[in-house]
Amino acid sequence: MKYFEKNKGSITTTSLKYPELDPVDAVFFQGQEDGKTLLVSTGVHGGEYVGPQAVREIIQELDPKKMKGNVLFLPLINRYGFYHGLKRIFPHDKKNLNNAFPGHEDGSYTERLAHNLADLYQGADFFIDLHGGDINESMTPLCFYPKNPSQGNEEIIAHVIGYLTTGYAVASQAKDGFYSYANLCGLPSLLLERGGGGRWSREEVDGVKKNIREVMDALEILPYEKTIHPPTRIQEAVYEVSPAHGFWYAYVRPGEFIREGQTLGRVETMGGHLVKNFKAKFDGVCLYHTHALGVHTDDALIAYGRP
């Protein structure tokens, strides 16, 4: 993080400027003592409000003079998506940054942004990307971790998960997201999810702030209270998508325990014909679901995991 470093115990607010891209705001906390560097990003998806509010608040509350190590915050990556309440995409090219990594220097807007943002992995020791359920989704708090982390990163990822109060930690095979590509590049990373439905609450914002402090504690940047309830690991999850446009009826709620064979929801046509019933393949817990009534082909409907 040499680019940001100035004085010990200081805060630097800056905008990262990339050719023909909107600037990306950044706030760098340089601790009073040397230590690990944590990268925290939020607002990759414009309609997920809990993370941006939590970062907005915590950068007013942290004191770099009490920190051993550094934190670089990216408080609002997709700012136009945020102001317009867009689902997942950048308005410039209608692409999802979280499927765009590693990106390309000659690609579309989102691909070029991904290509540039990946440079920020350099100099970081750990990375958390803050998300939530989208405007049409409800979810239970959780974090995603890489099922197959880069060599040597398994231990540090397990260490940090052990400090978190996210309820569940779900193994993921994703490779093209901001956090998942970081793992491929050797930077240990997690994606944290809290909130959804185009809403935010005091409780959820405080929950994310707590999670950021828990990660800082795990990295010995700033001490914080230790949890006695680390997340339940989920190694196997099912992500159901809609086979067609239609009406979606969910029968279970995020966080609810489900039984093998239980009907989780169904999709119907406009005329009332059944398109598909979704039944649980095993006993588990509902992680998130779409609460929108109208869904399109390949829309995410429900996810559940086996604890």
Binding site for Zn ion (CB under 5 A): 45, 48, 131
Provide, rounded to whole angstroms, the least separation between the CB of residue 23 and Zn ion.
21
Residue 268: Cβ-neighbour burial (10 angstroms; 0-12, 13-18, 19+): middle
Q: Which is nearer to Zn ion, 81 or 246 (CB)?
A: 81
CB-based contacts of 142, cutoff 8 Å, min separation 6: 166, 167, 168, 169, 170, 192, 193, 231, 287
3-state secondary structure 88-129: CECCCCCCEHHHCCCCCCCCCHHHHHHHHHHHHHCCCCEEEE
Q: 48 vs 214, which CB is nearer to Zn ion? A: 48
102 cis-preceded (ω within 30 degrees of 0): yes
Structure tokens at 129: 């990307």
Q: Which of 182, 173, 181, 115 is nearest to 147 (CA)?
A: 173
Taking the complex as a whole, the smallest distance from the CB of residue 132 to Zn ion amounts, in Å, to 7
| Cβ proximity to Zn ion, 48 vs 204, nearer residue | 48
**Minimum Å distance from CB 292 to Zn ion?**
16
Q: Which is nearer to Zn ion, 45 or 213 (CB)?
A: 45
167: left (phi over 0), alpha (psi -120 to 50) or beta: left
The three-state secondary structure class of 196 is: strand
Shortest reach from residue 131's CB to Zn ion, in Å: 3
Q: Please identify, using beta-carbon distances, which residue of 45 and 209 lies nearer to Zn ion.
A: 45
Least distance to Zn ion from the beta carbon of 223, Å? 30
Q: At closest approach, how far in Å is the CB of 6 from Zn ion?
A: 32
* C-beta of 70 vs 189, nearer to Zn ion: 189
